Amino acid sequence: MEARLNKRTKIKQLFKKLGIDSDFTLGDLFKVSIARIVLVHYLDEIEKNARHCWTSKPQQKKGSLHQ
Say if CB 41 and CB 18 are below 8 A apart.
yes
- pTM for the complete prediction? 0.68
How far, in Å, CA of 18 to CA of 34, rounded?
10
| Mean pLDDT across 28-35 | 90
> Are 67 and 60 within 8 A, CB to CB?
yes
Interval 35-62: pLDDT, tens: 999 999 999 988 888 876 666 665 666 6
